[in-house]
Amino acid sequence: MKNVAVIGAGTMGNGIAHTFAQSGFNVQLIDISEASLKRGMDTIAKNLDRMVAREKISEADKAETLGNITTFTSITDGVKNVDLVVEAATENVELKLNIFKQLDEACQAETILASNTSSISITLIAAVTKRPEKVIGMHFMNPVPIMKLVEIIRGYSTSDEVTNTIMELSKKLGKTPTEVNDYPGFVANRILMPMLNEAIETLYNGVAGVEEIDTVMKLGMAHPMGPLQLADFIGLDICLSILNVMYDGFKNPKYAPCPLLVNMVRAGKLGVKSGEGFYDYSESRKAEHVSKQFSK
């Protein structure tokens, strides 16, 4: 396996492309937007510059990594002759199903189709293809080049051969793959999202303020980032989407999103990406709140 396509040039997509390219794979990064592709490639270059500055890689390594990535705005053109596709589009069921229908038509019969979904059923995604045994989940963590975990999610029909191939591939990327079964939220978000939602409920009920809640969890529970800051970092719209998938999947009220979260998303307060969430990320405050996370 040498040739990989990544669908989506956003935060997760460019991180996945970076990781594969740095490990020597030929990567075809695909997005419908030229502007998104440019932003994605700029992000990869900046992240590589940080690694050069810290003497973790050389300038030659940086050049080789960037040289391993080719960009495309067409799925049909971008997935020719690839061994693996990793879809990293927005966490939207209909969008993902549509992408996998296209991939199934455009890819070679032997190509493995993976989704970076953080909550949506792999079995559901696989059902829209004619190769359900070759569909699997690869849930990378953000920031992808740094975080070691990859949740490997088996759909109902995913074959042992494909699962073993992806487990071994993940190790070649320097990751620690962990196999889980296909239930809403898998493991990571089934545990994480109710915690974030409960932190939002705690704020909503007036128990404590934003910084107080985060301070308790950082200093008292040794979390590297408070839950409200983490929700901002993930994106409040993503948190809401995942909670809705879990609530729909389990029909259990404990997964129902807090009304405060719903209203913040409706108001466009999505966290870091919108400039405001539980914290202020306007240009004057951005460095204070965000750069600390990357300077550690």
Q: Of 286, 279, 11, which is closest to residue 146 (Cα–Cα)?
A: 11
Whole-angstrom distance, CA of residue 68 vs CA of residue 26: 5
- Annotated catalytic residue within 14, 36, 118, 244: 118
Supply the pTM of this predicted model. 0.88
- Annotated catalytic residue within 47, 68, 121, 189: 189
118 appears as a binding residue in the annotation = yes
Per-residue pLDDT at 290: 39
Whole-angstrom distance, CA of residue 96 vs CA of residue 260: 27
- For residues 78 and 108, the answer to whether their CB atoms sit within 8 Å is no
* Structure tokens that stand for 294 in this block: 């990357």
CA-CA-CA-CA torsion sign (24, 81, 136, 163): negative
- Annotated catalytic residue within 139, 170, 197, 241: 139
Per-residue pLDDT at 291: 42
87 appears as a binding residue in the annotation = no
8 appears as a binding residue in the annotation = yes
The one-letter code for the residue type at 82 is V
Per-residue pLDDT at 106: 97
Q: What is the pLDDT of residues 178-229, one digit of tens each?
A: 999 999 999 999 999 999 999 999 999 999 999 999 999 999 999 999 999 9
88 appears as a binding residue in the annotation = no
Per-residue pLDDT at 284: 55
Q: Per-10-residue mean pLDDT for the chain, 296 residues long?
A: 96 97 98 96 97 96 98 96 96 95 97 96 98 98 95 98 98 98 95 98 98 98 97 96 94 97 98 96 60 42
Q: What is the pLDDT of residues 55-76, one digit of tens each?
A: 999 999 999 999 999 999 999 9
Whole-angstrom distance, CA of residue 256 vs CA of residue 193: 10
- Alpha-helical runs (H) found in the chain: 11-22, 34-53, 59-67, 75-78, 93-106, 122-126, 160-172, 188-204, 210-215, 221, 227-234, 236-250, 259-266, 283-286, 292-295
Q: Where do the domains of the chain lie, and which CATH numbers do they carry? A: 3-181 (3.40.50.720), 190-290 (1.10.1040.10)
Q: Provide the pairing of β-strand 149-154 with 135-140.
A: antiparallel
- Look up 189 and say whether it is catalytic: yes
* Structure tokens that stand for 177 in this block: 């793959």
Report CA 34 to chain centroid distance, whole Å: 20
- Look up 14 and say whether it is catalytic: no
- Look up 205 and say whether it is catalytic: no
- Annotated catalytic residue within 36, 151, 170, 241: 151
- Look up 118 and say whether it is catalytic: yes
Three-state DSSP state, 72: strand
175 appears as a binding residue in the annotation = no
